A and B are shown apart, each in its own frame.
Chain A
Amino acid sequence: MVRQAWAGLRILIVLTTLTGVLYPLGVWAVSRVPGLHSTAEGSIISQNGRNVGSGLIGVDPVAQDPEHDPWFHTRPSALAQDPLGPADPSSSGGSNKGAANDDYVKVVRERKDAIARREGVDPARVPADAVTASASGLDPQISPAYAHLQAPRVARENGLTPAQVDRLISENTSQGIGDPGVNVLKLNLAVQAMKRG
């Protein structure tokens, strides 16, 4: 057994060099080529030389004046301090609340009412993804239903027509092979760009 352990240690050190140094750094080196570099570094979106976020990470924007809220909002995040609030993307995770957790059901109801008030609609119209925390806490997308629920308010507060905002929603919707989703950061940036003209 002792002989096996020494052989094991020596072989482990060689395999560590191979799979723990050469492999990850080799992949890293390949990822430096143009085309891979930007995704490898987080798909960061820059505007006027400033990083405004990652196209893959959803951080909820906060309105300066809640009565005049110009933003599309992300899904709730378990990383946020409040039931509806911005996530801290230096970490990640879900709520891990069970399907019959009474305390958490209250939180979901609170979210549902708050969103219905914000959008001026009946709470029954608020879709499931709007009131449930995502798995990562950083879901970059919302369902098209939740985007369209927010569209009239966003159009009004940014001085755009509903048709313009609807077009931006469909331009920022992607489906892949799963369910369709609307990228909130890209959509907000598109709205701001259109507002500036």
Chain B
Amino acid sequence: MSPTWAGLAQVGLLLLALAVVYKPLGDYMARVFTSARHLRLEKAVYRVGRVDPDSEQHWKTYAASVLAFSFVSVVLLYLIQRLQHLLPFDFGRTASPGVAFNTAISFVTNTNWQSYVPETTMGHAVQMLGLTVQNFVSAAVGLAVAMALVRGFVRAKTDRLGNFWVDLTRGTVRVLLPLAFVFAIVLIALGVVQSLKSGVDVTNPDGSVSRIALAPAASQEAIKELGTNGGGIFNANSAHPFENPSSWTNLIEIFLLTVIPVCLTRTFGVLVGNKRQGTVLLTVMGVLWGGMLTVIWWAESHPNGPLALLAGGAMEGKEVRFGIAGSALFANATTSTSTGAVNSMHDSFSGLGGGGTLLNMMFGELSPGGVGSGLYSMLVVAIIAMFLAGLMVGRTPEYLGKKLGKREVTCAAVAILAMPTVLLLGTGAALLMPDTAGALNNPGAHGFSEVLYAYTSASNNNGSAFAGITVTNDWFQSTLGLCMAFGRFVPITAVLCLAGSLAVQRKVPETAGTLPTTGPLFATMLVGTVVLVAALTFIPALALGPIAEALA
């Protein structure tokens, strides 16, 4: 099998697996978030939390619950890291205040940006009690917000959006936990480690002695991909053979990080009562995903740049078992979702390939996007697209039977503009800092790309990096932390406000003048809106980095 055919086989198997679970998992998630029954375990959670699971919340209460929950999560995660010497399995590792602050925001916002080397910074107790927990609940928060927005479209003449605590608990208990458990075991069977030891000593065949780091990796790996989180328990992330030992685990991990965002389009279709409304969103995601995969794969398998030409292939920062195709497939999947796990070092990609991963994030991570965040980001784009179409024909736009007035469009605009604002401000400010030049690992245009990538990744809650950049000074730790927080919670608040104002409206009946939102015209408008917004916003920045590099 040639590398090209092996790559195509991987793509084919991935799509096949997604197709098989699309209906059952999508329908299951629709039932999870509409069922009136509470499981016994869930009732216990509500009892301890002293919340009434059968009372529904106004959008402001829902948003307050999301923000309050995330705030206490940041505080607790910060304290767990700072107090890890009091916990078991710390192995003498310590996290500085800067690292702990950045990491707390990073994992709570589903970013999982890492400014630390796990093997020397985070003991197993921090990994399990702190980081694994946020891998679950930050994904469940994304799911909850997406469900609240869908209810805004489905419901009419009510100011109630559901109950955040119920959505959070159900997402964790009924969706994430069982899937993560099963796949953690599968990954162990295929070679991923799950050890409570810090490492194992070996005497190599040449007589030298090495210590090989170990960690409870499988339990974290499964939810890290499934929850589109991406924080590695080892420094090399999913490139480490103990996190991702073979081409098969590689494919499974790519499947895990795309499966929920993909199936949520089905959930959406079921809940709004027209499955084709979900299919069209999936089509848009698929077109963007396939297009970007082609670019990245082509760029990496056609050596360009002095390094790859001298070496005879773009294998710098890639593993033999994944090859170029398996690396490109992972890189595309991780940046088009909000995962940010890496099985190859994006910093060593070609100008065009690395630029592709950047552009994936700049699209707003919606092809298919993060758990929950992919769906709500795509729905925000749909509202903007309908607004633009409305301007062209001169009538008030509608989507799914709801009028898109000033308030709805304002919320959508805030949601879509928050990320570019903090991204460009952060990058620009960082470039003015005198210390930034010394933090870079590469000269010239590529050094600029390292800064741009850092702020793009943080503002989009991705978490991958052009990892050569050293981000441990206070400036980077604090500003990247703020970008992650703004990039996550400004859109979430805007989306919940949008949901609230949609839910109180009555449904407007479809007329001959209603633009159908299930056909190719609508899909084309969505793709156009995504590309147009990203192009208008980011071309100047891309021109200074990856484009300059690709043309050099």
**Contact between chains at B345 and A90 (CB < 8 Å):** no
Chain A residues with CB under 8 Å of B291's CB are none
Q: Is the CB of A181 within 8 A of B321?
A: yes
Contacts of A102 in B (CB 8 A): 306, 443
Q: Judge if B521 is at the interface, Cβ distance under 8 Å.
A: no
Is A94 a contact of B239 with CB atoms below 8 Å?
Answer: yes
A109 to B193, CA, bound (A): 36
Which of A62, A96, A98, A178 is B325 in contact with, Cβ under 8 Å?
A: A178
A97 contacts B69, C-beta separation under 8 Å: no
Q: When each residue 126-138 of chain B gets 1 if its CB lies under 8 Å from chain A and 0 otherwise, what string results?
A: 0011101101110
Whether A89 contacts B211 by the Cβ 8 Å rule is yes
Knowing A40-B218, A43-B191, A177-B10 are in contact, say whether A105-B313 is a contact too (CB < 8 A). Answer: no
Identify which of A148-156, A157-165, A184-192 touches chain B: A184-192
Q: In the bound complex, what is the Cα–Cα distance between A163 and B414 (angstroms)?
A: 68
Pick from B148-156, B347-355, B425-433, B492-500 the stretch touching chain A. B347-355
Q: Give the CA-CA distance A53 to B133 in the complex, in Å.
A: 32
Binary interface encoding of chain A residues 11-41 relative to chain B, with 1 for a CB under 8 A from any of its CBs, else 0: 1111110111101111110110001100111
- Of the candidates B65, B177, B194, B466, the one whose C-beta lies within 8 Å of that of A31 is B194
A141 to chain B, nearest CB (A): 4
Give B303-317 as 1s and 0s: 1 = Cβ < 8 Å from A's Cβ atoms: 011111011111111
| Contact residues of B between 451 and 496, Cβ < 8 Å to A | 466-468
Q: What's the minimum C-beta distance from A130 to chain B, rounded to whole angstroms?
A: 9
Let me know if A14 and B45 touch, CB within 8 A. yes
Q: What B residues does A95 contact at CB under 8 A? A: 316-317, 345, 348, 468
Q: Does A52 contact B (CB under 8 A)?
A: yes
- Complex CA gap A189/B128 in Å reads 36
In the complex, A94 Cα to B9 Cα: how many Å? 27
* Bound form: Cα–Cα A140–B206 in Å: 16
- A103 and B466 CA atoms in complex are apart in Å by 18
B240 within 8 A of A: yes
Task: For the complex formed, measure the closest distance between the CB of B428 and the CB atoms of chain A, giving whole angstroms.
Answer: 21
Point out the residues of chain B lying under 8 angstroms from A143, CB to CB: 320
A25-69 CB mask vs B (1 if < 8 Å, else 0) is 111101100011001111110000011111011110111100000
Is B72 touching A96 in the complex (CB atoms < 8 A)? Answer: no
User: Chain B residue with minimal CB distance to A179?
Assistant: B323
Q: Contact at B188–A40, with CB atoms within 8 Å? A: yes
Contact residue among B1, B214, B306, B317 (Cβ-Cβ distance under 8 Å from A175) = B1
Known contacts A23-B177, A108-B307; is A138 also within 8 Å of B10 by CB?
no
* Residues of B contacting A20 in the complex (Cβ-Cβ under 8 angstroms): 128-130, 132-133
Contact, CB under 8 Å: B188 / A27: yes
Known: A92-B240, A94-B348, A98-B347. A40 touches B68 (CB 8 A): no
Query: Which range holds the interface residue count of chain A?
Result: 35 or more
Question: Given A31-B194, A98-B442, is A135 in contact with B181 using a C-beta cutoff of 8 Å?
Answer: no
| Contact for A12 among B69, B132, B325, B549, CB less than 8 A | B69
Give 1 or 0 for each of A82-113: 1 = CB within 8 Å of chain B CB.
Answer: 00001011111111111111101100110010
Which residues of B have CB within 8 Å of A28? 194, 196, 216, 219
Q: Check B194–A27 contact: CB distance below 8 A.
A: yes
**CB within 8 A of B49: which of A7, A62, A112, A135?**
A7
Contact of B206 among A54, A71, A89 (CB under 8 A): A71
Contact A42-B246, Cβ < 8 Å, known A14-B48, A20-B132, A99-B307: no
What is the bound-complex CA distance between A90 and B118, given in angstroms? 11
18 other A-B residue contacts (CB within 8 Å) besides A53-B212, A112-B311, A135-B317: A7-B51, A8-B68, A11-B169, A12-B133, A18-B177, A31-B185, A31-B194, A52-B205, A53-B204, A61-B205, A90-B211, A93-B236, A94-B317, A97-B468, A98-B468, A99-B304, A127-B312, A179-B321
Q: Give me the interface of A with B, judged by CB distance under 8 Å.
A: 1-2, 4-5, 7-16, 18-21, 23-28, 30-31, 35-36, 39-44, 50-54, 56-59, 61-64, 71, 75, 86, 88-102, 104-105, 108-109, 112, 126-129, 131-143, 174-179, 181, 185, 188-189, 192
Chosen A-B contacts, 12 in total, with CB atoms closer than 8 Å, are: A4-B64, A5-B71, A9-B76, A19-B135, A27-B219, A40-B194, A42-B193, A61-B206, A89-B212, A97-B348, A135-B239, A188-B205
